[in-house]
Amino acid sequence: MMLIETLSTFPHMYDSVMGTSMMRIAQEKKILDFRAYDLRDWTHDRHRTTDDDPYGGGNGLVMKCEPIFEAYDEIAGNALDGSSQPTPTVIFLSPCGQPFNETCVQELATKERLLFICGHYEGIDERAYSLADYIISLGDYVLTSGELASMVVIDAVVRKLDGVLGAEDGAACESFADGLLEYPQYTRPATYRGMDVPEVLLSGNHARIDQWRHEQSLLRTAQFRPDLLDKINLSTNDRDFLQSLGDL
């Protein structure tokens, strides 16, 4: 079972996401143990303050490092229910972090315990980042809170855990699993508003279907994410197929 914990000023933001669909099922199957901690529980003033004005002036508020360190010290050795747990892999979400991608997902999915420390306001006191094992960025933009970003990472990681998806190979054919975008999918009806499902998918010829799907993955990747093609080793047949497409 993987233990995923979050430390933030708005722990109830996770209630809906973690109590719905795949996240709920993963917990019911005892594949995932999820716990959200309130950073305010490690403050020492009556207002339960987790932020303060930045040194040097400037707009916004900066999250204080003291409650983050104190919370980590208490959480890291054991879970707060007293059960013995491995030391957590600590993750911060920040625009200056490493880009989040499939390689990162695969790495995190091998960990026994993840602890997400989520920022808010203008940012986090830089000293808190000394706790980080990973600093992750979802992209070149800024969100209101680290809670939102952590939900994306958690979802991507949990779906990689054995037994979470319905089919054993459910994640194997998804986009980026082999470096390519996923092929297009269809279901009933076979014809709708003049649009037909490709004939090959109705043929029952699994070899032809596999070939079509692979070629469609190549085509989609070339159309929408050609940068990905430079990162994978294409076979001679793949290169010949792409060359046959000409200018997309």
Report whether 199 contacts 151 (CB < 8 A).
no
Report whether 93 contacts 153 (CB < 8 A).
yes
DSSP letter for each residue of 60-90: S-EE-HHHHHHHHHHHHHB-TTS-B-PPPEE
What is the pLDDT, as a whole number, of residue 144? Answer: 86
pLDDT digits (tens, 9 = 90+) for 140-167: 998 988 999 999 999 999 999 999 987 5
Note the CATH architecture for domain 2-158. Answer: 3-Layer(aba) Sandwich (3.40)
Q: Which residues of the chain have pLDDT under 70?
A: 79-80, 167-175, 177, 248
Q: Which CATH number fits domain 191-245: 1.10.1270.20, 1.10.10.10, 3.40.190.10, 1.10.1760.20?
A: 1.10.1270.20
Please tell me if the domain spanning 2-158 has the same topology as the one spanning 191-245.
no
Name the CA dihedral angle for 65, 67, 72, 78, rounded to a multiple of 10 degrees: 170
What is the pLDDT, as a whole number, of residue 128? Answer: 97
Report whether 121 contacts 61 (CB < 8 A).
yes
What is the pLDDT, as a whole number, of residue 117? Answer: 98
Domain boundaries, the chain: 2-158, 191-245
